[in-house]
């Protein structure tokens, strides 16, 4: 089965064709990141306007790269939430139109579930069940037990800032560029992660929730106190604090639920230190997609649609920016 996926939950405009949920035939992403880098963050209206302009060219390139036509497509999948409302509408209305005009089944996909399925793409040894998924991005930090395809148990999530948001905000405080995750990772390579004593908020709480606002506040106080700390040391310490906070509860959950595999998903999963430390501290198997597939893309949406194939009428699909798993 060949599924055309469409992803427009944030500032990217993505389209991809995936065969049988695992083989990528084409994967095109157009990003408005350079515009948002100038303002230090995403402006939703700007993102949506850019996606309107990019949508048709991205679809054309996707079909061209795959050497397929509309008659070769078996179904269409689209992200319906969570995300920015204006951006989601661009993708959802495009998918609904194509579904109607091409007479193809339409499968709405949760963006967070899509991130999990990035780990099935081009993977000769795909995940097994049960497994534990740590979904970390600019807007979400969620810990989910996956019992089977489409069978999720939400264990906990962030109560305030997400991990990616914490990277962005602390990077700005350090005078680094947007997005903050890659900027901090680059600086941290030559830094000492033990140079600054930073908190690991909620790391010892009995639940599986996360919090990063306290870490951000601690960085603010240090910056305002004019302590002379090298930027690379500060960046390494921030990165280590975020990684430690994520992994401590993830490892505890893996032990409690007796899972042998942990899936890292979402844009922050591209962080090299998170990958390294997860592999160093977990005795089981760490599964993580390539950095290109960890960030927002439409291939993961098409993959999720194949393994959770529940098409509905195009007229019933609506965007839902606030939904969780």
Q: Band of the pLDDT at 261, cuts 50, 70, 90?
A: very high
* pLDDT at 16 exceeding the cut of 80: yes
Compute the Cα dihedral for 30, 322, 278, 288 and give only its sign: negative
* pLDDT given at position 39: 77
* pLDDT given at position 32: 84
Give 38 or 192, the one with higher predicted confidence: 192
Are the C-beta atoms of 158 and 210 separated by less than 8 Å? yes
- Taken as a whole, the chain contains a residue count of 325
* pLDDT at 40 exceeding the cut of 90: no
Write down the pTM of the prediction.
0.95
* pLDDT given at position 190: 97
CA dist list (Å): 268 to 1, 4, 121, 168: 30, 25, 18, 11
* pLDDT at 220 exceeding the cut of 80: yes
DSSP 237-277: HHHHHHHHHHHHHHHHHHHHTT-SEEEEESGGGG-HHHHHH
* pLDDT given at position 29: 97
* pLDDT at 130 exceeding the cut of 80: yes
What is the average per-residue pLDDT within 243-248? 97
Q: Band of the pLDDT at 202, cuts 50, 70, 90?
A: very high
Q: Per residue in 310-322, pLDDT tens?
A: 999 999 999 999 9
What is the average per-residue pLDDT within 118-146? 96
* pLDDT given at position 96: 98
**What radius of gyration do the chain's Cα atoms show?**
20
At 15, list the tokens.
């389209």
Q: Which fold has domain 2-117+295-316?
A: Nucleotidyltransferase; domain 5 (3.30.420)
CATH code for the structural domain at 127-288: 3.30.420.40
* pLDDT given at position 186: 98
What is the average per-residue pLDDT within 60-64? 98
Residue intervals of the chain classified under CATH 3.30.420.40 are 2-117+295-316, 127-288
* pLDDT given at position 37: 81
* pLDDT given at position 226: 78
Percentage of residues of the chain with pLDDT beyond 90: 93
Q: Band of the pLDDT at 235, cuts 50, 70, 90?
A: very high
* pLDDT given at position 74: 98
Are the C-beta atoms of 148 and 128 separated by less than 8 Å? no
- In the predicted model, what is the mean pLDDT of the chain? 96
What is the average per-residue pLDDT within 184-210? 96
Q: Per residue in 79-117, pLDDT tens?
A: 999 999 999 999 999 999 999 999 999 999 999 999 999
């Amino acid at each position: 089965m060949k599924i055309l996926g469409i992803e427009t939950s944030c500032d990217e405009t993505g389209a991809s064709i995936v065969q049988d949920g695992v083989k990528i035939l084409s994967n095109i992403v157009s990003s408005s990141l350079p515009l948002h880098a100038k303002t230090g963050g995403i402006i939703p209206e700007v993102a949506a306007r850019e996606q309107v302009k990019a949508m048709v060219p991205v679809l054309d390139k996707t079909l061209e790269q795959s050497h397929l036509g509309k008659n070769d497509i078996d179904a269409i999948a689209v992200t319906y939430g969570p995300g920015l409302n204006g951006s989601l509408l661009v993708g959802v209305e495009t998918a609904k139109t194509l579904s109607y005009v091409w007479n193809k089944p339409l499968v709405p996909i949760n963006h967070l579930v899509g991130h999990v399925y990035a780990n099935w793409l081009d993977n000769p040894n795909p995940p097994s069940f049960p497994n534990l998924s740590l979904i970390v991005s600019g807007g979400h930090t969620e810990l989910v037990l996956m019992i089977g395809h489409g069978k999720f148990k939400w264990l906990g999530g962030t109560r305030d800032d997400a991990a990616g948001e914490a990277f962005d905000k602390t990077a700005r405080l350090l005078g680094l560029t947007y997005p903050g995750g890659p900027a901090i990772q680059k600086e941290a390579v030559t830094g000492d992660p033990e140079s600054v004593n930073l908190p690991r908020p909620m790391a010892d709480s009995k639940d599986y929730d996360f919090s990063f606002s306290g870490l951000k506040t601690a960085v603010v106080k240090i910056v305002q106190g004019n302590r002379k700390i090298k930027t690379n040391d500060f960046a390494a310490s921030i990165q280590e604090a975020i990684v430690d906070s994520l992994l401590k509860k993830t490892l505890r959950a893996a032990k409690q639920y007796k899972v042998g595999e942990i899936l890292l998903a979402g844009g922050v999963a591209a962080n090299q230190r998170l990958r390294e430390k997860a592999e160093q501290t977990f005795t089981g198997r760490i599964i993580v997609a390539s950095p290109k597939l960890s960030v927002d893309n439409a291939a993961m949406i098409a993959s999720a649609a194949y393994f959770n194939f529940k098409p509905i009428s195009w007229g019933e699909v609506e965007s839902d920016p606030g939904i969780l798993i």
